Chain A
Amino acid sequence: MASQRKGTDRNDGVVLDVQGLTKVFGSGPASVMAVDGVHLAVRRGEIVLIVGPSGAGKTTLLTLIGGILRPTSGSVRLNGYDITSMKESDLTLVRRHLVAFVFQTFNLLESLSALENVEVALNFAGVNGREARQRAARLLVDLGMKDRLHFKPHALSGGEKQRVSIARALANEPQLILADEPTANLDSKHGHDVVVLLRDIAKKQGRTVVIVSHDHRIRQVADRILWLEDGRFKDIDKLGGDPLGASPSQDAGPAGV
């Protein structure tokens, strides 16, 4: 990133550093505070799960962290780079090389095959031709998609689409993966597979993963669980009742906040 804002080296392995992040939509009496003074620090290889009621600001927080939305105030540092005051051209580079998203609805390009969907991410980063094709193929094969490389999204199952989406997210080796309800549209088996994939991405590849989800299985792989409500992180232990809602077959246990 050709920015005059140099990354700040941190020896404590913090990849994502959010300070006082606030986002207000609209103005005057009709304004809505979607994120209210959020602080968050996430280390390399850590999996952080953000949970909370609908409308809590979870997706808004992800889009702020990923540089998709500009905050009203506060800062987001990725690998030491303050992205909140970057020019749009620099944010494009952040989205290419530092951050990647995994979506609930997969968001694949319907006219391209699985292989081409991953290749496109590499193309945008300047990797073209045979190299892009080979790297994309390798990623998909590693995710068990060897026989489905040339299938278009409409011919893939939900689990396969999500694997393509994850392969695309990994294409440019980002430091941070932001996943918004990655298992919501998947059946039990495929949802489990995706959870395992996300765990391996963090633990075996050393990438940082921040997930927004209601899926209880992700709690088991998360290093920390954070409760977001009304745009703020709240201490789960101080919330009444059982906000995480333990599954019948599992002990919810204390959440690592």
Chain B
Amino acid sequence: MGAEVPIARRNLLADKAKLFVALGGVTLAILLILVVQSLYEGVRREYASFVGSLPGDVWVSQRGITGLTFSNSFLTERAAADIASIPGVRAVHRLYGRLASFEVDGDEARMYVWAMVPGGTLTPEERSTLPEPGTIFIDRVLAKEAGVSRGDVLKYDGSEFTVAEIGPIGNLLSAQFAFVNPEDYSRLLGNLGAANFFLVSVSPEAIEGVMEEIARRVDGSSVYTTDQFVRVAEQPVRDFLPIIRVITVISFIVGLALLSSTIYSATIERAREYGIMKVMGASPLQLYRIVLSQSATITLLGFSAGVGLAFLFNRLAADVVPEFVTYIRWQDVALALGVATLMTFVASYLPTNRVARVDPASVFRA
């Protein structure tokens, strides 16, 4: 290790106040980026998890929907029968859903209620995901928020539903998912004549052909594989991406501003010392490395603190606000590291130019 790191470290520690301000700025930037990214990813996964948990290999909806919940899709029984007759189709399950407000201990709990009518024989595992009449499966976020446990009773329009299962069903931030038996759904929430979606079980080798045939037979329909439908379901969340990008850029700018001002002022204050080092025979590269080391030290510490705080913040936030469902991917941490690295170099640019212009002859002037 050369002279650069000890000099850089000592220069930073010489003004602890400025060091902590810069460190705070970088930490805050990384924290904000990770929290926002993880919230986006967490909610996105709720949709993916919900879609993936249901039976069926192919999803059918009315054409033009822009998401799972906030646009209407209606498919007739005749269309279901038509699809069921396509060679390779094993079953056509009907999926119904709508927003509803249940009563929990006198308080209102909004949830998006789903019901599935199986179109064929379900496996025991699939059957276990369907509630019995008079029972309801609710999302764990709703349970936490409303203080509901298994066995508790929710009421809707005078009817009672016993909470039979609590699990990761789905969370929209504004409302959570729940499952009821189709008989209860039909009785209280809507008629089963027009399903919102068809979930079609297909022999693996026949999927492509079946999809083409469904699109041909059912006018005004859109047909997706499960993976493709996940993308559709996530659309409302992905609409927030531009906002997330703006927040990321603002975070970067704030962190960079605080870091740059610290590094630049540290360089200006020590301009004479850089001149002394030039007289001693330090090369430009060695001096640039001192500046870069200062910048890198702060961003590395800030990055580490930011990542640690992001995990902690997410855990604490979820305790206080159960809807705050987050998921930090390694790609998001890599993005944060990339942002920190970019900050290091950008913040060092002006100071290194300043160092390059330091005249060693100035050392000889009083």
A97 to chain B: which residues have CB within 8 Å?
A: 281
A162 to chain B: which residues have CB within 8 Å?
A: none
B1 to chain A: which residues have CB within 8 Å?
A: 128-129
23 contacts between A and B (CB under 8 A): A59-B364, A62-B364, A63-B361, A63-B364, A68-B361, A95-B278, A96-B280, A96-B281, A97-B281, A103-B364, A109-B7, A109-B277, A110-B273, A111-B10, A111-B11, A111-B14, A112-B6, A112-B10, A120-B6, A120-B277, A123-B2, A124-B2, A172-B281
**What is the chain A residue whose CB lies nearest that of B1?**
A128
**Interchain CB contact under 8 A, B283 and A92:** yes
CA distance A120 to B282 in the complex (A): 9
What 1/0 flags go to B270-304 for Cβ under 8 Å of A? 00110011111111001000000000000000000
B-side interface residues, number (CB < 8 Å): 25
Judged by a CB distance under 8 angstroms, whether B3 is at the interface is: yes
CA distance A127 to B14 in the complex (A): 26
CA distance A123 to B282 in the complex (A): 9
Judged by a CB distance under 8 angstroms, whether B363 is at the interface is: yes
Given known contacts A68-B361, A180-B364, is B281 in contact with A109 (CB within 8 Å)? no
- Which of A66, A68, A95, A119 touches B3 (beta carbons < 8 Å)? A119
B334 to chain A: which residues have CB within 8 Å?
A: none
B10 to chain A: which residues have CB within 8 Å?
A: 111-112
A109 to chain B: which residues have CB within 8 Å?
A: 7, 273, 276-277
In B222-275, which residues have CB < 8 Å from any A CB? 272-273
Q: Which residues of A contact B (CB under 8 A)?
A: 59, 62-63, 66, 68-69, 89, 92-97, 100-101, 103, 105, 107, 109-112, 116, 119-121, 123-125, 128-129, 168, 172, 180
**Leading 9 A-B pairs by shortest Cβ distance:** A96-B281, A123-B3, A111-B10, A95-B281, A120-B3, A124-B282, A107-B276, A123-B2, A92-B283
A105 to chain B: which residues have CB within 8 Å?
A: 366
B276 to chain A: which residues have CB within 8 Å?
A: 107, 109
**What is the chain B residue whose CB lies nearest that of A107?**
B276
CA distance A101 to B363 in the complex (A): 11
**Interchain CB contact under 8 A, B364 and A68:** yes
**What is the chain A residue whose CB lies nearest that of B6?**
A116
CA distance A69 to B2 in the complex (A): 27
B14 to chain A: which residues have CB within 8 Å?
A: 110-111
- Which of A59, A69, A168, A180 touches B280 (beta carbons < 8 Å)? A168
In B110-128, which residues have CB < 8 Å from any A CB? none
Judged by a CB distance under 8 angstroms, whether B56 is at the interface is: no
A100 to chain B: which residues have CB within 8 Å?
A: 280
- Which of B3, B7, B278, B363 touches A103 (beta carbons < 8 Å)? B363
**What is the chain A residue whose CB lies nearest that of B10?**
A111
Best-surrounded residue of B7, B10, B278, B280 (most CB of chain A within 10 A): B280
Given known contacts A111-B7, A111-B11, is B364 in contact with A93 (CB within 8 Å)? no
**Interchain CB contact under 8 A, A107 and B361:** no
Judged by a CB distance under 8 angstroms, whether B360 is at the interface is: yes
B283 to chain A: which residues have CB within 8 Å?
A: 89, 92, 124
Given known contacts A111-B14, A128-B1, is B281 in contact with A121 (CB within 8 Å)? yes
A128 to chain B: which residues have CB within 8 Å?
A: 1-2
B136 to chain A, nearest CB (A): 67
